[in-house]
Every structure is written in structure tokens, then in C-alpha cells.
Structure 1
Amino acid sequence: MNTTIMLFLIQDGITNGAIYALLGLALVLVFAVTRVILIPQGEFVTYGALSYAMLCAGNVPGTVWLAMAMGAGAFAFDLFAARRGLHLRKLARSLALNIVFPAALLAATYLLVGPKTPIAVNIVLALLTVAAISLYLYRLAFQPLAHTSVLVLLIASVGCHLALQGLGLVFFGAEGLRGPPLSNAAFTVGDLRFTGQSIAVYVVTVAFIVALWLFFGATLMGKALRATAVNRLGARLVGIRTTLSGQIAFLLAAVIGAISGILIVPITTLYYDTGFLIGLKGFIAAIIGGLVSYPLTAIAALVVGTVEAFSSFYASNFKEVIVFTLIIPVLVLRSLAAPAVEEEGD
């Protein structure tokens, strides 16, 4: 290996690591607020990327119909929950969010879709679709289980992942899709070539890290989410709506996942099940960060991306094995550092 190849591998690793950092941040955010290990994060990536690719090709993605169906289910849940005491204001809010919004999104998609539709419009439609799905997913699958154990939430998360992945096969088919780049600009620095797409990955990643830091440190809603993460019962006692906190956490995670997918799909061909593997690598970064630290998660994601790039060069057949092996020493060290707990006798 010469210096030029090493620089190319480092560049590729940083680009991949930036995507994994976004996904890792989303996983940490959701787990901190809701205690849900969000396995379907990979599906948010896939849905955002492939919905964007289909919109750019002039086709209506099936995800907008999924959002409509899930919204109707969420409204039915709200009606059932309010059966003993009808609050017109709450029902009106639920009707607007769960029925009117997805219906308007569906109408706008059919109205605006076309091969000459601006890329910015397609991005907005894809993000709104994935955001709506995330809100309804939380209402249908996780809000009723909010007070159960982490294990129950994990089982529900795995079930949602399998369901969404199967629906992805129905909506997008088994063939891979690729979308147009956000920018065709390119420039060279020494031996390295930077494209507008790779620059967009770096800028968006840094912007999200800074935005999340400001959101949690300087806004009332961010502090409410932090309070919910520290003590859910205590947050409820001081008037924080923990249900709203969960919805916001899922919404942010879905938007981050969809943006990650939109950044990836012009670089490589994505399939209906590709997001799961990408999400797992973000999950490794989140585990290394202890599912609590945003800066450590971002650094770990860059390490994961760099290791993956060098593994692809030296041992491409085993690159996934090498990447996933990174989690083993971390788990061992955390196990050794954890205080010993004596088992209770029968």
C-alpha cells in the first residue's frame, strides 16, 4: 500500500463514518428518551433513500400509502383510548395529525411527482413521508408499551423491523435503486478528489451534531427530553409530556435516518434490506458510546468507517466480520468495569 491508496481509504472511511455517526446519534437519542433500541432505524434509511429515488424517477412510492394506512390506525387507537371521555380538542388534533396530514401528503405527492420535479421538492416529500411513518410507528407499536421493560421494547422493535423490511420488498421490489446526486460539483486536492455529494455528507453530519448539541443544551424542549431520559416518572410529575418526548425522539431519528439514506443513495445502489446492515454499523458506534454519549458515538463511528474501508482493501470477504468484531472488546471492558451483582438465592 502506498500513501495515495491510504489517503483514499481514509477518505472513504471518513465518508462512511459520517453516515454511521448520524445513525449512531439517532439511536442514542431514541434509547435515552424512550429506552427503545431502535432496530427499524435501518428501515428509515432505506425508506428515505428509495422513496427519494422513486420520486426522482417520476414514480409514487408505496411509502406514502403506508403513511396513510398507519395514520388511520393511529387515529383508531386514539379513538379507542378516548372512548370513556371524548375531548373534542384532542380528537381534532389527532384527526389533523393522523388523517388530514397523510392525506395531504398523498395528494401533494401525486400532484408534484414527475421526472422534472426539482430535487429539493423530492427530498422534502421523502422526508415528510418517513417522518409521518415514524410518528405513527411510535403511536401503534411503542407508546402502548412505554412502561414495560427494555426486553419487551426490544422484542417490539425487532418485530417492527421485520414488518417494515417486508413492506419495503413490496414497495420497492428486489432490484436496487439509485438516486441523482445533490450536487455534481467536484474538485481535487492533491491526489484526492472530493465530490459535492461527499462534501454534503460531511457538512450535514457536522451540522446535525452541532444542532443536537444546541437543541439539548439551549432549548426548553431539548431539556425536557433530557429530563425524560434521566427520570421518566419524575419528568411526568413536573408536567413534562413523556408521550410527546417519545414522538419527538422518533421524529428526529427518522429524519436523521432518511437524510442519511438520501446522502447514500447517489453514492451506491441501495436495496430494500440494505438499511439494516448500515443501521447495525451505526448501532456499533452507539454501543461504543455507551448509548449515552453523542461525541463518543461520533468518534466511534469514524473509527468504524475507517476500519471498514481498510478491511475492504485487505480482506474484503471478511470486512463485515472485522467491523462487527469491534464490539467484542468494548463489551468485555464494560463487563469488567461493571460492579459485581450477587444473585439472589431461592
Structure 2
Amino acid sequence: MDLTIAAILGLDGLTNGAIYALVALALVLVFSVTRVIFIPQGEFVAFGALTLAALQLGKVPGTVWLLLMMAVAAGLLDLAQGLRERWPAARLVRRLLATLGFPLAVSGVTHWLAPQQPALLVQVALTLGLVTAMGPLLYRLAYRALSGASVLTLLIVSVGVHFALTGVGLVFFGAEGYRTPAFWDARFDIGPLSLTGQTLIIFGASVALLLGMALFFERTLMGKALRATSVNRTGARLMGISGDAAGSLTFTLAAFIGALSGLLISPSTTIYYDTGFLIGLKGFVAAVFGGLASFPMALGGAIGVGLIESFGSFYASAFKEVIVFTVILPVLLWRSFVDPHHEEH
């Protein structure tokens, strides 16, 4: 290997690492606030890419029907809770509107615009709207009732949710893979390196999102509420911060990050209904570097995972996945010495 090949592999590793950093960011966020090891994060990535691919073909994406099913199921749960607890009619109507309003609106707009093949920015907005709306609904359906459960129980639920979403992904999107056109076809040569416009978009979007999240947590009331919940759930609840609201917002942000990651990665790789699982696992390896608690260390871990994957594929392409996932073993050993575990009560 010479310096030219090393530079090319390094650029490829940094590009992949930027995507893994976004996935790791979502995983750390979800775990720190809700204690959920969110294995289905990769499904949001796949659904984002496949939704955009369907819109570019002029088809109504399967995400529309999945979102409507989830919204109706969540609405039925809210209705049952309201009748059981004898809510006033006005409160019940407000809750149903809050649950069903946005999913119905974005699904209707998508169903109307999809055959017209609108501009790319409109397709991106529709994709982000559809997938992001799944986040709070998924929390309502699978996790909210278990907010006080142990981490192990929540992990088992996450495994079940992952298989369920993978199955419905096969039903609504089919087994065929899709790759979307690049958002920007420009190419810039810098010495031996050739930077594509899509690569620059990936770096730019990743940096913008990371900075935006930092400002969100530092400057906004909702961001500070999430930080307080992640530090001390009981203390935050005593201060009037709703744990359910924090969990719903966290899953909304995770779904948005996953959808954006899918949009960024879809022009560079073929996405299938189950592709998100591997992407999510690599993001999890990166998140483990930070003990599922530190955003900067998770970011560093994501860059490391991207570089290891890139150079590993050069030396032993058949074993690149094995190499990446083997890295988690010494990291877990190191974390066990740095942060000794304690029994959960």
C-alpha cells in the first residue's frame, strides 16, 4: 500500500464514519434518556433511503401505509386509556388529534404528491416527515408502558421491535434493493483524492447536525430537559419534566437522524429492507466506545469504525464485517475496567 491508496481508503473511511457517527449519536441519545439500547435505529436508516427511492420512481412509498397503521394503533391505545381513566371529551379529542394529526397530514400529502414526482427537496422533506413521525409512535406502542422496566427487558423488546420492523419492511418495500441518484454530481480533484459532491454533502450535513444538536442541548428548554432526564430521571420527574414526553421527543430525534442518515448513504450503496441492521450495529460499536453515554467519544469511535472497515476491506474484504465487530471485544473489556458495572435495582 502506498500513500495514495492510504489516502483514498482514509477518505472512504471518514465518509462512512460520518454516517456511523449520526447513528451512534442517536443510540447514545436514546439510551441516556430512556435506557433503551435501540437496536431498530438502523431500520429508520433503511426506511429513509427506501422511501426516497420510491418517491423518485413516482410511487407511493410503503412508509405511508406503515405510518398509518402505527398511528391508528397508537390512537386506539389512547382511546382505550381515555375511556378507562374517564378523561373529559375535550382532553380525549386533543390527545387523538396530537397522535393522529401529523401522521395523517404527511401521509395524505405524500399520497397526493408522489405520482407527480415533485422536486428533490420536496421528496427529501416528505421522506423526513414520514420517517420522523414514526419515532414517537414507536415509543408509544413499544416502550412507553415499559419505561420503568430493566435495561435487559428493554433490550429484549428492542430485539422484537427490530424483527417486526424488518418483517414489515419486506412486506412494504419488497426484497429488491434500491440506490438513489447523488444529490450533487460535482467532482473535485485534490492531488490523488477525488472528492464527490455527495461526499461533501455527507460531511456538511453530519457536521451541521452535530452542531445543531449541541446548540439544542445547550440553548433550548427542551434540550435542557432531555439532559436533565439523562442525568437523573427521578430528579427530572420531581422537577416537573415528564418522562413520557422526554422519551417521545428522544425517539422523534432518533427517527429524524436515522432518516437523514438513510438519505445521505443511499446514493453510495444499494439499500435493502434489512440493510439497516448492519449499519445500526456499526453505529452501536461506535457508541460503545463512549459507554453509550459520551457523545464526543462515540463520535471518535464512529470515525475509528469507518477507518477500520475501509482498511479492513482492502486487506481482507471477505472479513471486513468480522474485523469491525471483533473490535468491540477489547473495547468492552476496557469499558468494564473503566466503568465497573453495578447491579440494577
Structural RMSD (CA): 1.4
**Take 2:23 and 2:332, find their aligned partners in 1: how far apart are those partners?**
20
**Take 2:307 and 2:127, find their aligned partners in 1: how far apart are those partners?**
29
Please give the secondary structure, in 1, of the residue aligned with 2:337. Answer: helix
Q: 2:45 matched to which residue of 1?
A: 45
Q: 2:287 matched to which residue of 1?
A: 286
Supply the AA of the counterpart residue of 1:27: L
Please give the secondary structure, in 1, of the residue aligned with 2:87. Answer: coil
**Take 2:165 and 2:321, find their aligned partners in 1: how far apart are those partners?**
23
Supply the AA of the counterpart residue of 1:5: I
Q: 2:26 matched to which residue of 1?
A: 26
> What is the 5 A alignment of 1:1-346?
1-83=1-83, 84-114=85-115, 116-339=117-340
**Take 2:91 and 2:237, find their aligned partners in 1: how far apart are those partners?**
19
C-alpha deviation, 1:9, in angstroms:
0.1
Unmatched 5+ residue regions in structure 2? Answer: none
**Take 2:342 and 2:145, find their aligned partners in 1: how far apart are those partners?**
31
Unmatched 5+ residue regions in structure 1? Answer: none
Deviates more, 1:264-273 or 1:182-191: 182-191
**Take 2:313 and 2:132, find their aligned partners in 1: how far apart are those partners?**
34
* Contact 2:79–2:96 (Cα < 8 Å) also in 1: no
**Take 1:269 and 1:173, find their aligned partners in 2: how far apart are those partners?**
14
Deviates more, 1:185-194 or 1:283-292: 185-194
Please give the secondary structure, in 2, of the residue aligned with 1:272. Answer: coil
1:76-105 superposed Cα distances (whole Å, 9 cap, x missing partner): 111122222213443233222332322222
Matched pairs, number: 342
* Contact 1:56–1:180 (Cα < 8 Å) also in 2: no
User: What TM-score comes out, normalization by structure 2 length?
Assistant: 0.96
254 and 64 in structure 1: CA distance in 2 versus 1, 3 angstrom threshold: same
1:157-212 superposed Cα distances (whole Å, 9 cap, x missing partner): 11110000011111111110111221112211111111111101101111111111
Supply the AA of the counterpart residue of 1:205: S
**Take 2:176 and 2:198, find their aligned partners in 1: how far apart are those partners?**
23
C-alpha deviation, 1:339, in angstroms:
4.5
User: What TM-score comes out, normalization by structure 1 length?
Assistant: 0.96
C-alpha deviation, 1:53, in angstroms:
0.7
**Take 1:90 and 1:42, find their aligned partners in 2: how far apart are those partners?**
35
* Contact 1:56–1:115 (Cα < 8 Å) also in 2: no
**Take 1:282 and 1:31, find their aligned partners in 2: how far apart are those partners?**
13
C-alpha deviation, 1:115, in angstroms:
6.0
* Contact 2:55–2:117 (Cα < 8 Å) also in 1: no
**Take 2:340 and 2:72, find their aligned partners in 1: how far apart are those partners?**
47
**Take 1:90 and 1:43, find their aligned partners in 2: how far apart are those partners?**
33
* Contact 1:14–1:305 (Cα < 8 Å) also in 2: yes
